Amino acid sequence: MVEFAAWSATFVHTVPLATTANSPPSPPIPSPLVAILPLLAPLATAVGALLVRRSDRAQRAVSVLGAIAYLGAVAALYAAVAEQGTLTYQLSDWQAPFGITVVADSLSVFTLAFAAALSLAAVVFSVLYVDSYGQRVSYHPLYHFMMVGVTGSFLTGDVFNLFVWFEVMLLSSYVLVAFYSGPEHTRAALGYAVLNLLGGAVMLVAIGGLYATTGTLNIADMARRLANASEYGIDPVPVLGLSAVLFSVFALKAGLVPFQFWVPAAYRAAPAPVAAMLAGVVKKVGIYAIVRLNFTVFATATLPAGLSLPGFVGESFLSFYGPILFVMAAASILVGGIGAISREDLDSMLAYSSIGQIGFVTLPLAVGATVPAIRPLAIAASLVYALNHGVAKALLYLVSGTIEDTVGTVRFRDLGGIAVRDPVLGGSFLLGALALIGIPPLSGFFAKLLVFDTSGSALALDGRGAALAIAIGLTGSILTIVYFSRAWTRGFWGPPGRAIEFWGGADDGAVSGDGRATTDGGTATDPVPEGAAEVESTSPSVGLVGIVAVLALSLVVLGLGFDPVADAAMAAAEAALDREGYVRAVLGGTG
Amino acid sequence: MTQFVLAVVLGTLFALGTFLVLRRDVVRVVWGVVIVTQAANVYLVTMGGLSGVAPIVPGHGEAVTATAVTDPLVQALVLTAIVISLGTTAFALVLTYRIYEEHGTIDLFELGRRDEGDGGNEGGTEDFARSVADGGERCTADDSENETRTTSENESGRSEASVGG
């Protein structure tokens, strides 16, 4: 079904139109295949994993190799974009704006790069973590179909196609959220699915309206038409309303307050590597869509003066979105931070934390929308924060998964003393937490620095509400410190909790033997009666800890070698704001 | 006239869908989602314009003579959206059945009440029982001395509920 949906979107709706053909035919644009390689790699992997489903080992091998190939394809695209600038691929050679265009610019490849790197880590983790029964049929194909959807969303240059990729991504993620199929998992999946299905319908309404108003679905063409709205006979006022409807769907995908309520249940229900990808990458698709459509497309339109909207000053769409983004970001930071403080288990705390951190990703966007002069810095800050949060939150979810795999619980009151029993795992958690708090030399320091730098620069330029943005940022940072300190002291320091006693060698307390913790490759073991002689020690799988440690090291590496990251983020921010360059790359001719 | 009729139909469909989504019964919620999605599809068709003739090209290579044709793109979009909603509806219905199997009810109030029950459960033995029953692959250290007894009670209670309900 998923392939078919993607397939039909790719080919069915490329019907040429006499009615919209009021632009001159564009010269043929070279179509480098490298632009769609990142789409083909996970698609081929998903189909391949389905074909070899009879053999567990072959399926896992295909899955891991596919993730490596995906990373390779993204790296190739990254290099090509760095060398040649924005690349486009016209599907079936239907020229834009009539066909579907795949557009790879600096913004797309920046987000793709960390998606691919995290995806490889999550796939390898999954192979070791998810029990063999679960992996047997559906896990790997679903996972890679989800990555197809994520990649498509980052690369598409067509609004309706964006809807299709969203659905591809979501349809796979519904099944992955419901993966364990227990009571809480089915309940979480119901809420997640119903909300996102309604979101899909709303998105369809917005897209239909935009098509009727602007006469195009191509993102570049829409940007061009909106920039010369009177020339094309477009009334910008309905476009503003429709763009707001579309924005609410993106905010739902990103989990911004007030659309955050599906987040904790869904993240708790999903298997740890999937939760890592949902928090680390899938949420960022919503942020990417907000940046792409609001900053590249809708920012170009001007509204008629004297539009009587309450509290609205200015003539740009972005001056309308600035306060909205600000309120949502501030509410996310506060709701996420305060919610995370009172959670009783690690997974819920991380879920609330990711609501708060998405607020930090959005905050610079809000400031940048209000103060045009600092827009490149604002978008770069948002992207760097998204990257930092992606890596750090994926790391923390994988730590949580490793703990659950070892002792079967992540409730704080059962944990404690993990740092002593397993310094590598504890140290990795600490690094992830410090990265989100923003301690140098980790990448999180620069992310926080840029977020505050954005607000500070806005303040220097006398931007409205910049001081409030700084205050919210500081409050959020303090909340982050509080909830991570709490998690650290309760889960990783202090005397070993009940679940941790037998971790890493049965030394003390082993003889008391009122139970035991086991994890031996997917067999449930009944608790042993008191006084049983057989007490096994448990220790986490070396592979799981290894992956976690690699991610933790990557936080340090990203922080120490931050210059290339900053350059890439700045290039991405400029690409996001360079409407003319985008239009020229897609449509040819003049922007 | 066509416009007025379609506007009324669309309004009715969206209202009906919204009403059903807010019901207690999960099946009705799924119906509501389906109706909202179909309403969006009807809306999408109207966005192509309601006047004009069918955009049929007389033959290969011949010029289109009709001046006002209806936009066929939206119909292609709707086809794609229908295919997607077919898949998601099938999944939502299967999920509903699975919820019935797991909880013994498809009443959202009941499901919510169980949720609250989990949150207030200080001992957390229910969670433990579920984690054993659900994944079947994990085990944890004992919460208390009577864990084994509570676990088995919970499990039997749960399976009875799902069989009997």
Domain boundaries, chain B: 2-51+71-117, 122-153+160-164
Grade residue B164 by pLDDT with cuts at 50, 70 and 90.
Answer: very low
Burial category of B2 from C-beta neighbours within 10 Å (exposed 0-12, middle 13-18, buried 19 and up): exposed
For residue B122, the model assigns a pLDDT of 37
Is B76's CB within 8 Å of A526's CB? no
Q: What is the helix, strand, coil percentage profile of chain B, to 5?
A: 70, 0, 30
The ipTM value here is: 0.84
Query: What is the pLDDT at residue B165?
Result: 32
What is the residue-averaged pLDDT of chain B? 74
- pTM reported for the whole predicted model: 0.85
What's the pLDDT score for residue B37? 95
A429: nearest Cα among A392, A390, A478, A389: A392
Across the interface, whether the CB atoms of A184 and B33 are under 8 A apart is answered no
Q: Which two tokens stand for residue A112?
A: 């793709």
What are phi and psi for residue A90, nearest 5 degrees? -90, 115
What is the distance between the alpha carbons of residues A479 and A341, in angstroms, rounded to a whole number? 8
DSSP structure string for A210-270: HHHHHS--BHHHHHHHHHTTTTTT--HHHHHHHHHHHHHHHHHHHT-TTS-TTHHHHHHHS
Name chain B contacts of A163, Cβ cutoff 8 Å.
Answer: 81
Write out the two tokens for B133. Answer: 């029953």
Q: What is the mean pLDDT of residues B156-163?
A: 40
Distance CA A265, CA A173 (A): 13
Residue closest to A498 by CA, chosen among A516, A520, A511:
A516
> Cβ separation of B141 and A17 shorter than 8 Å?
no
State the Cα–Cα distance between residues A395 and B89, nearest whole angstrom: 34
Q: Is the dihedral of CA B10, B14, B20, B26 positive or negative?
A: positive
**CA-CA-CA-CA torsion for A83, A85, A88, A89, nearest 10 degrees?**
0
Beta bridge mates, A158: A218
Q: So what's the pLDDT on residue A98?
A: 87
- At the second CATH level, the architecture of B2-51+71-117 is Orthogonal Bundle (1.10)
**pLDDT computed for residue B126 by the predictor:** 42
Q: Which residues pair with residue A87 across a beta bridge? A: A104
**B73 contacts in A (CB within 8 Å)?**
13, 15, 17, 20, 211, 217
Angle at A196 between CA A276 and CA A127, to 5 degrees: 30
The tens-digit pLDDT sequence of chain A (591 residues) is: 334 344 334 333 333 333 333 444 444 444 578 999 999 999 999 999 999 988 889 999 999 999 999 999 999 999 999 988 899 998 888 888 888 999 999 999 999 999 999 999 999 999 999 988 888 878 999 999 999 999 999 999 999 999 999 999 999 999 999 999 889 899 999 999 999 999 999 999 999 999 999 999 999 999 999 998 889 989 888 999 999 999 999 999 999 989 998 999 999 999 999 999 999 999 999 999 999 999 999 988 888 776 666 666 677 888 889 889 999 999 999 999 999 999 999 999 999 999 999 999 999 999 999 888 899 999 999 999 999 999 999 999 999 999 999 888 899 988 888 888 889 999 999 999 999 999 988 999 999 999 999 999 999 987 677 899 999 999 999 999 999 999 999 989 888 888 888 787 644 443 333 434 443 433 344 444 443 334 456 788 889 999 999 999 999 999 999 999 999 999 999 999 999 999 999 988 654
The beta-carbon neighbor of B115 closest among A9, A187, A198 is A187
**Chain A residues touching residue B87 (CB < 8 angstroms):** 1-2, 4-5, 171
Q: What pLDDT is recorded for position A121?
A: 96
Residues in chain B with CB shorter than 8 Å from the CB of A522 are 136-137
If you average pLDDT over residues B12-16, what whole number do you get? 96
